[in-house]
Amino acid sequence: MHEGARTEPMLLAENAELRAQLEGAEETLRAIRNVEVDALIVESATGPRVYTLHGVDSASNRFRGEILAQVSDAVIAIDGHQRVTYANAAAERQYGLSPSWALGHLLSNVYETRWLRPGDESAAETALRERGEWRGENVHLRQDGRELHVESSMTVLRETVDQRAGVLAVIRDISDRKRAEDKVRVSEIRYRRLFEAAQDGVLLLDPDTCKITDANPFMTKLLSYPHEELVGKELYEIGLMKDEGASLEMFRKLKSEHHVRYEDLPLKSQGGRHQEVEVVANLYDENGRAVIQCNIRDITERKRVEEHNKLLMAEINHRSMNLLAVVQAVAHQTARTGDPATFVARLFDRIDGLAASQDLLIKNQWEGVDLADLVEAQLAHFEDLIGARVMLDGPPVRLTPAAAQGIGMALHELATNAGKYGALSNDDGRVHISWQFGTANEPVFLMSWLEEGGPTVALPMRKGFGQMVIGRMVEAAVDGTAEVDYRESGFSWRLSSPLAGTLQKGRLASSPGNDARG
């Protein structure tokens, strides 16, 4: 715009602005004269230069400011009214503040303080009042809601000895450290619980001294040693290694291979109890220190079960072979009589009887069969008559597997014959089955099958397989003698055999006296 074109209002505005600038310049000079400023900024060829007006104090202030700006901990100064007079860059980062935002604000606008324990706040106030400083931990809640676990060091700032100007706080964010400590604490509790509750013995050893440094409760139970007696001992002293040499050999191997495993180590507890144990030891680093962890598992029961299973497998194999031989003989003998239809019916019937005995044996894990159970199994098709027309009388006895097989087949034949031709073939006949112990040259087992009230008995026309089963086969099974009597008044069968081969050892009678059944 041309100068001559300026209107009066424009000139008035320009005049007012110039006057304002002049007043501003005068005001600046007044402020400098009244020492209301502490620095002048002068333009130079290299840019603005700051000239402070307070000599050494100002320079040292600046120096201090530079140092505080560099420290990684948050540094905050407040005045007597809790307003922030200084906050370094670390404080701005720690509390998520934009640069210089905190300055002049109340400290409570920067963060809220949460004390960890009820008395902490008053303790801090007392310390600042009486000693001029306080150091401790608390939680700062940022404006954005984030919690910081901090360690603070607070010092009272004084203008004079008696006049308090404010407080300087150096605040370190220890949230990460706290989290790590919490993790370690949780981990310690968790693994301590594992150690305490483990159902394996755990020993910790010092590889240099070869001595036990700690033992879990299960270890003390395993060895019957109290904890304090275990600690400080060497392995051979607690019966885990046979002698010092064996113990040293284990440590030598551990140091070179960092791992050893021993199976089937015999362990003798303080009470003299022998146990089989499995030992797994590892050498590992524990915060720069070598430690040996020894896990000891009591495998006595496992070994017993393994042995039992091995025996059982051999027994099953042996029994299976025997059973097949019996089936073969039964089939062969049955085939000699009757037509094919009768052969099939008889064979199936006899194999059913054999299967009943077998079933009982398997249920009892080949550890024998209770005789009363065997009788009931073989007479299953006369179940309704047991107790009424079929009377059982005898003590509880457990037959060996061989005796169970032989007597079982004999009972099957006896029951079949009684149903077809004997006491159970009419409405009135009765069968008495009894067993007892007797003595001859040696203790014997006596068993009898006595029939009465049946049709008149006639001698069989010929000796079939049934005769062989109740005779030679059962005799062979119990190494005894069987007698058969075809009296007119009733058929009878008697078996006598040595106790040793007939009944399971230790199972002669599970309760004394006769246990009348049926």
* Residue 20 lies near another protein (rule: CB under 8 A): yes
Among 38, 147, 249, 301, the residue binding another protein under the rule CB under 8 A is 38
Q: Which is nearer to another protein, 3 or 427 (CB)?
A: 3
Q: Is 476 in the site for another protein (CB under 8 A)?
A: no
- CA 121, 127, 133, 135 dihedral sign is negative
CA 347 to chain centre: 54
Query: Which residues, at least 6 apart from 29, have a Cβ–Cβ distance to it below 8 Å?
Result: none
Question: Considering beta carbons, is residue 12 or 194 the nearer one to another protein?
Answer: 12
Site membership for another protein, residue 36 (CB under 8 A): yes
Q: How far is the CB of 180 from another protein (least distance, A)?
A: 35
Give the list of residues 6+ apart from residue 71 with CB closer than 8 angstroms, or none: 88, 90, 170
Instruction: Calculate Rg over the CA atoms of the chain.
Output: 51
Nearest-approach distance from CB 170 to another protein, in angstroms:
15
**DSSP collapsed to 3 states, 406-445:** HHHHHHHHHHHHHHHCCCCCCCCCEEEEEEEEEECCCEEE
Closer CB to another protein, 49 or 177, in the complex: 49
Asked whether position 69 contacts another protein by CB under 8 A, the answer is yes
In the structure encoding, which two tokens stand for residue 338, read together?
A: 């009757």
Q: Does 71 bind another protein (CB under 8 A)?
A: no
Q: How many CB atoms lie under 10 A from the CB of residue 48?
A: 8
Told to check if 487 binds another protein by CB under 8 A, we report: no
- Check binding of 335 to another protein (CB under 8 A): no
Rounded to the nearest whole angstrom, what is the least distance from the CB of residue 116 to another protein in the complex?
Answer: 31
SS (HEC) of 470-493: HHHHHHHHHCCEEEEEEECCEEEE
By the rule CB under 8 A, 37 interacts with another protein: yes
Q: Does the protein bind another protein through residue 70 (CB under 8 A)?
A: no
Q: What are residue 388's phi and psi, to 5 degrees?
A: -105, -60
Pick from 6, 41, 126, 209 the residue near another protein by CB under 8 A.
41
Q: Judged by CB, which is closer to another protein: 21, or 481?
A: 21
Say how far residue 37 (Cα) sits from the centre of its chain: 74
* Amino acid of residue 355: A
CA distance 475 to 465: 14
Q: How far is the CB of 13 from another protein (least distance, A)?
A: 3
Residue with smaller CB distance to another protein, 52 or 175: 52
Considering only residues 83 to 102 of the shown chain, the ones binding another protein according to CB under 8 A are 83, 85-86, 99-100
Which CB atom, from 62 or from 259, has the smaller least distance to another protein? Answer: 62
- Cβ 68 to another protein, closest distance in Å? 8
Specify the residue for token string 């020492």. 35
Please name every residue paired with 169 in a beta bridge, in sequence order, or none if there are none. Answer: 76, 154
Q: Find the binder of another protein among 15, 270, 365, 426 (CB under 8 A).
A: 15
> Does 28 interact with another protein (rule: CB under 8 A)?
yes
Binding segment (CB under 8 A) for another protein, from list 74-82, 286-294, 411-419, 459-467:
74-82
Q: Which two tokens stand for residue 259?
A: 């791992």
Pick out residues in 44-63 that bind another protein (CB under 8 A): 47-50, 52, 54, 58, 61-62
Contact between 100 and 85 (Cβ < 8 Å): no
Point out which span in 43-51, 257-265, 299-307, 449-457 binds another protein (CB under 8 A). Answer: 43-51
> Rounded to an integer, what distance in angstroms lies between the CA atom of residue 130 and that of residue 101?
32
Residue number with CB closer to another protein (31 or 325)? 31
Query: Quick check: 318 binds another protein (CB under 8 A)?
Result: no
Q: Which is nearer to another protein, 14 or 352 (CB)?
A: 14
Residue selected from 34, 256, 287, 439 as contacting another protein according to rule CB under 8 A: 34
What is the C-alpha separation between 408 and 417, in angstroms, rounded? 14
State yes or no: residue 67 binds another protein (CB under 8 A): no
Q: How far is the CB of 67 from another protein (least distance, A)?
A: 11
Q: Considering CB under 8 A, how many residues would be counted as binding another protein?
A: 50
CB 445 within 8 A of CB 437: yes
- Other beta carbons within 10 Å of 436: 14
Sign of CA dihedral 37, 39, 44, 48: negative
| 155 lines the binding site for another protein (CB under 8 A) | no
Using the rule CB under 8 A, give the single segment among 80-88, 134-142, 368-376, 509-517 that binds another protein.
80-88
Contact between 71 and 169 under an 8 Å Cβ cutoff? The reply is no
Position 104 contacts another protein (CB under 8 A): yes
Tokens representing 97 are: 């503040």
Say which amino acid occupies 35: V
Q: How are the residues of the chain apportioned to helix, strand and coil, as percentages rounded to the nearest 5?
A: 45, 30, 25
- 117 counts as binding another protein under rule CB under 8 A: no
Helix intervals (H) in 95-163: 107-110, 120-130
Between 159 and 306, CB nearer to another protein: 159
Binding footprint of another protein on the chain (CB under 8 A):
9-10, 12-17, 20-21, 23-28, 31-32, 34, 36-42, 47-50, 52, 54, 58, 61-62, 64-66, 69, 77, 79, 81, 83, 85-86, 99-100, 103-105
